[in-house]
């Protein structure tokens, strides 16, 4: 591909790393929504340095930036490339000495976890939140952030060998997601939870909603099992006084100060980020997709690119 031109209001980024995401696997298989069509360079997120700016953009070449969403890799060409061009509003400047493989894991995970907790749930210190689907990449990050925000965190996994991982990243209670899940959560929070993030399935929403106390909120963020809707859904499924919302996410849900705060926490070792594998070079993208789909290792798969 030719190096893309930079139009007014846009930024060209020299990509140094990007995370690989389930949505990109879906797009590769031709199963995305109507905003996606082939041919397309995949990749909904990236980190790198500003290479060039269009008119009206107040950034300088060499500035480290993160980018995600905004149609990247779906309605516009994405980050699986040496260069990508995005709206300046979707380029978040940052400064850190963390390596590119670590920073490359962060944009989409931090944006979704931070946004769903702070906007979807409006989580406050002292509240008790459930992360249903805790060993997903965003689930692990949401556990760590909720813990850092001062919440009590109950998190779930279907794999008993990963209960310790949930505790490692910040879960106060790690629960096996089996037929006894609701009873186990009620034993932990008999008065009900303040909130829950639903990552597993739309069909799980009735049970998740039943665990929330009046005034609490369930935020639907994803469907790891692929079930995004509920047939013949009745609003009366939602308990009286409990709110049901969703979170889709935008880049501006991760403001510069929030990204900086999380980077400082990662540097200090007080925020755990789980990286499943680092793949060096664009030729390793297929390997990264394969490893992601295998599901053998929890955490983020990252592809890094050389400086030159």
Band of pLDDT at residue 39, cut at 50, 70 and 90 = very high
Percent of the chain at pLDDT above 70? 100
Tokens of 260: 């900086």
pLDDT in the model for residue 155 = 98
Neighbours of 38 (CB within 10 A): 8
User: Which pLDDT score, from 0 to 100, does residue 175 have?
Assistant: 98
The average pLDDT across 204-219 equals 97
Checking if the pLDDT of 37 tops 90, the result is no
Q: How many angstroms separate the CA atoms of 132 and 114, rounded?
A: 16
DSSP 161: G
Residue with the larger pLDDT of the pair 163 and 22: 163
Say how far residue 69 (Cα) sits from the centre of its chain.
Answer: 11
Q: What is the pLDDT of residues 284-307, one digit of tens each?
A: 999 999 999 998 889 999 999 998
pLDDT, tens digit (0-9, with 9 covering 90-100), for 11-36: 999 999 999 998 899 899 988 888 88
Closest CA to 128 of 246, 215, 202, 248: 215
Top pLDDT among 104 and 232 is at 104
Q: b/e for 236-259, b at 16 or more Cβ within 10 A?
A: eebbeebbbeebebebebbeeebb
Model pTM score: 0.92
Mean pLDDT of the chain: 94
- C-alpha 76/C-alpha 185 separation (Å) is 42
Q: What's the pLDDT at 243?
A: 97
Nearest to 91 by CA among 39, 35, 15, 23: 15
Q: How far is CA 226 from CA 149, 199, 201, in A?
A: 30, 10, 7
Q: What is the mean pLDDT of residues 52-79?
A: 94
């Amino acid at each position: 591909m030719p190096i893309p031109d930079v139009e007014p209001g846009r930024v060209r980024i020299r990509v140094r790393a990007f995370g690989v995401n389930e949505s990109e696997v879906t797009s590769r298989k031709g199963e995305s929504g109507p905003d996606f069509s082939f041919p397309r360079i995949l990749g909904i997120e990236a980190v790198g340095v500003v290479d060039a700016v269009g008119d009206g953009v107040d950034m300088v070449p060499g500035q480290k930036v993160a980018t995600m969403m905004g149609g990247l890799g779906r309605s516009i060409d994405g980050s699986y490339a040496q260069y990508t061009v995005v709206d300046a509003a979707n380029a978040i400047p940052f400064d850190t000495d963390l390596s590119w493989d670590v920073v490359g894991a962060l944009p989409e995970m931090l944006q979704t976890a931070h946004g769903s907790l702070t906007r979807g749930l409006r989580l406050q210190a002292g509240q008790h939140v459930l992360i249903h689907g805790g060993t997903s990449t965003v689930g692990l990050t949401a556990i760590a952030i909720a813990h850092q925000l001062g919440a009590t965190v109950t998190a779930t996994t279907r794999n008993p060998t990963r209960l310790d991982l949930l505790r490692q990243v910040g879960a106060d209670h790690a629960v096996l997601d089996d037929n006894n899940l609701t009873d186990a959560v009620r034993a932990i929070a008999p008065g009900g939870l303040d909130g829950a993030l639903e990552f597993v399935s739309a069909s799980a929403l009735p049970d998740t909603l039943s665990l929330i106390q009046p005034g609490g909120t369930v935020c639907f963020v994803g469907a790891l099992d692929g079930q995004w809707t509920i047939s013949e859904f009745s609003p009366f499924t939602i308990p009286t006084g409990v709110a049901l919302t969703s979170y889709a996410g935008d880049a501006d849900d991760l403001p510069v100060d929030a990204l900086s705060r999380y980077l400082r926490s990662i540097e200090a070792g007080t925020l755990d980020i789980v990286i499943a594998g680092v793949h060096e070079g664009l030729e390793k993208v297929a390997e990264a997709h394969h490893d992601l789909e295998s599901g053998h290792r929890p955490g983020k798969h990252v592809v890094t690119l050389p400086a030159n």
